Each structure stands twice: as structure tokens, then as C-alpha cells.
């Protein structure tokens, strides 16, 4: 999935699937990417971006699950 940022740049997010323990599911079919935001300030849950071929949505889940993290560097000023 390719997203456009607020400044017009693009960000590619591969469909990396989801890992739970040693199990990987939905690789090449969906993506789950952690956000830096906690869900309602709960230390256990965080927001994440989910997508597949028919949906894109923000959800929340326990932070112990192995969703993908995509490091993004802010542009130099």
C-alpha cells in the first residue's frame, strides 16, 4: 500500500501480515502497522493501521502482538 503524507511525499507499506508468537499469517495479503499513539491512554493497547485488498482502517489492540513497525524519519529542516 502506498500512502500520501500531508506534505505530498509517499510512504510504501508492504503487506507484511501479522505475527503472533511464532505464527505468521496473511503475509502478502494484509498489513498491520503500529502507530505511536496509545489507545485512550491505555498502557496495554495502541492504535494500528490495518489494510487488505478491500479495506483500510484504524483499530486498536494489545501491544504484545507482533505487528509491523515502519520507521519514518522526519525531513531535515
pLDDT tens across 8-61, in order? 888 888 898 887 778 888 889 998 888 888 888 788 999 999 999 999 999 998
Instruction: Tell me the whole-structure pTM to 2 decimals.
Output: 0.73
pLDDT given at position 30: 92
What is the model's pLDDT at position 5? 78
Tell me what pLDDT residue 68 has: 79
Alpha-carbon radius of gyration of the chain: 13
Show the cell assigned to 65. Answer: 502482538
Check: CB of residue 60 under 8 Å from CB of residue 46. yes
Is the distance from CB of 33 to CB of 70 less than 8 angstroms?
yes
Three-state DSSP at 40 gives: helix
Amino acid at each position: 500500500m502506498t500512502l500520501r503524507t500531508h506534505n505530498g511525499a509517499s510512504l510504501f507499506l508492504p503487506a507484511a501480515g501479522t505475527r503472533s508468537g511464532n505464527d505468521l499469517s496473511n503475509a502478502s495479503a494484509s498489513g498491520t502497522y503500529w502507530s505511536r499513539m496509545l489507545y485512550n491512554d491505555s498502557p496495554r493497547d495502541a492504535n494500528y493501521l490495518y489494510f487488505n485488498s478491500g479495506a483500510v482502517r484504524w483499530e486498536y489492540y494489545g501491544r504484545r502482538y507482533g505487528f509491523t513497525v515502519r520507521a519514518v524519519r522526519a525531513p531535515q529542516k
